[in-house]
Structure 1
Amino acid sequence: MTSSLTIHHTPEPDADIRVPDPHQDTYSKNLLGFWIYLMTDTILFATLFITYAVLHPNTFGGPSPKELFSLSITFAQTMVLLVSSFTCGFALLAASRSRINHLYAWLVVTILFGATFLFLELSEFNSFVQEGHSWRESAFLSAFFTLVGTHGLHITVGLLWATIMIAQLYFHGMTVDTFRRLVIFSLFWHFLDLVWIFVFTIVYLIGVI
């Protein structure tokens, strides 16, 4: 298979590589397949958002969103995840310029920010459970834990994916396949950032206000 990507295992610091041709059959099919996956994930999250919207008034005597949520903590989570989106973009830019050391660094930084976000989310869950507010207490909490937990599970998958990407780059260098996987990972990570903006706005911000 002929590729328009120039492969460098030990690239010069300022050497550029050409990204795969978006019209190339394999590249476009893989990208199309992933866009279809993202559409199914969008349907999943849309369903969870609708479920939350319907169930969140049903607290059954438990705490309401206004009583439970802390906007300062959630805002910090949001900023951490948004910054990770920028670092992920810088990683892709470094890959397109064949700056492998910069690519490693930006991927590691993205993982660190993503792990920080996940730690804050799990800490929030733990504090709720310690206070006796588990997912079984009310329909509101069931919908909340399901929606936010599903997003957190996707973040976990993204962190594992980024770690695997680093290993592939180390053992195989920048190839057509690794670049394509990096592009797809970047789409996935930006998608999760977008979903979280909706979570922050609909669940936390509107819930507290």
Structure 2
Amino acid sequence: AQEILFFGGLFMAYMLYRWRDPEAFAAGSHDLDITLGLVNTVILIASSLTMALGVHAAQTNKTRALVRWLVATGGLGLAFLVIKYFEYSAKFEHHLVPGPGFLFEAPIGHRAEMFFSLYFAMTGMHALHMIIGIAILAWLLPRAARGAFNSEYHNPIECFGLYWHFVDIVWIFLFPMLYLIGRHYHGGA
């Protein structure tokens, strides 16, 4: 519940600032790479599938399948983070990181800084939750390989699956909010 409130607050801040300055937010969204965002969305949807298959494997005493699905989930999580690294690197290279060096090539440049502040806050917190998830997965994996989870005891895998799906759902909201909505704003026209 705490995580929902935390991300909910970030979503509300985004909506409030976007409502106050739709032109700046539309301009800022043009500097996001829709292709990378979409690829990351597909990766996370696939990781939700592999996680669900892992939970099913634990519930049905399929240790080898559980290990395979957990490795696939972790690999997809790492792929997401690698893509996010390249996306962040491009923002640093183009001076789109809020602060003294922020440089946005448009008449509303200083106003677009709020968009990027929220972009980095929201995607950064999401990435942190992905890193935490991968660390928990790395802790669960050796136990799974030793056969610690089965039809009688699979609660840790199920609970982790809920966490993983939550982090994926957060991205499902972030992608359209940041990358798509308002991208074609033309001053209310």
What TM-score bracket applies, with the shorter chain setting the length?
A: 0.7 to 0.9
| Other-structure match for 1:65 | 28
Paired AA for residue 38 in structure 2: F
| Other-structure match for 1:202 | 177
Q: Is the 8 A contact 1:92 1:103 kept in 2?
A: yes
Residue 185 (structure 1) aligned with residue 185 (structure 2): no
Q: Deviations over 1:129-154 (max 9, x none)?
A: 11111132322211110011001100
1:14-53 → structure 2 map (5 Å cutoff) = 39-53=1-15
List structure 1 runs of 4+ shifted beyond 4 angstroms. Answer: 56-59, 175-178
Paired AA for residue 167 in structure 1: P
Residue 108 (structure 1) aligned with residue 67 (structure 2): no
Q: Structure 2: 5+ residue runs without aligned partners? A: 103-112, 185-189
Against the structure 1 CA distance between its residues 87 and 175, is the aligned structure 2 distance closer, same or farther, given a 3 Å change threshold? closer
In structure 1, distance between residues paired with 2:76 and 2:152: 25
**Deviating more after overlay: 46-55 vs 89-98:** 46-55
In structure 2, distance between residues paired with 1:86 and 1:164: 20
Q: CA deviation at 1:50?
A: 1.4
Residue 148 (structure 1) aligned with residue 111 (structure 2): no
Q: Deviations over 1:162-209 (max 9, x none)?
A: 111012223462268962111100000111111111101211110424
Q: CA deviation at 1:122?
A: 1.6
Paired AA for residue 104 in structure 1: V
Q: Is the 8 A contact 1:58 1:140 kept in 2?
A: no
Secondary structure at the aligned position of 1:140 is classed as helix
In structure 1, distance between residues paired with 2:21 and 2:73: 37
Q: Deviations over 1:17-37 (max 9, x none)?
A: xxxxxxxxxxxxxxxxxxxxx
Aligned-pair identity (%)? 25
Q: Structure 1: 5+ residue runs without aligned partners? A: 1-38
TM-score scaled by structure 2?
A: 0.82
Return the match for 1:80 from 43, 46, 49. Answer: 43
In structure 1, distance between residues paired with 2:68 and 2:160: 16
Paired AA for residue 137 in structure 2: A
Against the structure 1 CA distance between its residues 63 and 191, is the aligned structure 2 distance closer, same or farther, given a 3 Å change threshold? closer
Return the match for 2:91 from 109, 128, 136. Answer: 128
Q: Is the 8 A contact 1:165 1:178 kept in 2?
A: no
Against the structure 1 CA distance between its residues 170 and 134, is the aligned structure 2 distance closer, same or farther, given a 3 Å change threshold? same
**Deviating more after overlay: 145-154 vs 168-177:** 168-177
Q: CA RMSD for the aligned pairs? A: 2.4
Q: How many residues align?
A: 171
